[in-house]
Amino acid sequence: MPELPEVETVVRGLRPHLEGRKLVRVLQRRPDLRFPLPENFAERLQGRRVLGIDRRAKYILVRLDGGETLLCHLGMSGRLVLAPNNGEPLEPHDHVVFETETGAAIRFNDARRFGIMDLVASDALASHKLLCHLGPEPLGNRFDGKTLAASLKDRRTSIKAALLDQKVVAGLGNIYACEALFFAGLSPRRRAYTVQGGRAERLAWAVRDVLLRAIAAGGSSLRDYVQADGELGYFQHHWAVYDREAQACPDCTCDLRAGGGIRRLVQSARSTFYCPTRQR
Ligand SMILES: [Zn+2]
């Protein structure tokens, strides 16, 4: 499943190929993805020029002239694939194809069809049902130790569950919540309201840091964010704790035979990975 850093690399990969370009042809090959596609979807996109591309949480926002924005979520298996020339045969799960005036095409491929596309009036974007409940962007100016402490102070859930709440921080996801708690040295079981002051500062810093490092790794592993096969934005991760149950902690010299190392527990039906020595 694409996490926030992948979505950010997709956005950066799309920019040089879409920004300022006109969508000369849009091919819609099925009526729905996770939800029905908007009425006259292809017709409304065709002939529009792309003004800019941004990200909000894990949503890709393609701002168009004419006052509408294309909102796109990759869901579980959605991929955007760049074809420099739109001549190659389509694959069965290529559901939407955007062709620009240069002859390049961006294909939205999604085998499981949990992806989302919608067309929204740009000036009403903030009140869209998928965006209106989102809290601060983890990489934005409104997210820091103070704002994080304020939104945690009345929460009696675990800090891990709080980090997955989109109102606390938008688009973080399970993997990066685990990683951020590790680098902040906070137990995933700790009650959220106890994360105040220096702990909140450390956690806000760790959230930004794990995301920025993943984005930097993604950018450096891809030639300007596009892979050789045209796929945008996926890359190999190296995690400190995520999916590393029973392996040695990268920070401690723990004895694996004595039961040390990374542990896994289940919180709100999601796996949490953590080091019980480092994280308190
Ligand atoms: Zn450790």
Q: How confident is the model at residue 254 (pLDDT cuts 50, 70, 90)?
A: low
Query: Average pLDDT, whole number, for the chain?
Result: 93
Q: For residue 264, report the distance from its CA to the centre of ligand 1, in Å.
A: 13
Q: Please choose, from the candidates 43, 53, 46, the residue with its C-alpha nearest in 3D space to the C-alpha of residue 25.
A: 46
**Interval between CA 239 and ligand 1 midpoint (Å):** 13
Distance 24 CA to ligand 1 centre (A): 54
CB 159 within 8 A of CB 181: yes
Per-residue pLDDT of 211-240, as tens digits, reads 999 998 887 777 667 776 788 877 777 899
Average pLDDT over residues 130-159: 97
Closest CA to 49 of 38, 37, 62: 62
Convert the pLDDT of each residue in 36-72 to its tens digit: 999 999 999 999 999 999 999 999 999 999 999 999 9
Q: Are 174 and 244 within 8 A, CB to CB?
A: no
pTM for this entry? 0.93
Residue 26 has pLDDT above 70, yes or no: yes
> Catalytic residue positions?
2-3, 58, 270
Determine the distance separating the centroid of ligand 1 and the alpha carbon of 11, expressed in angstroms.
Answer: 34
The CA dihedral of 25, 14, 234, 105, to the nearest 10 degrees, is: 20
Strand partners, 72: 60, 117
Please check the confidence at residue 133 and state whether its pLDDT lies above 90.
yes
Interhelix angle for 197-221 vs 4-18, to 10°? 50
In the chain, pLDDT over 70 holds for what percent of residues? 96
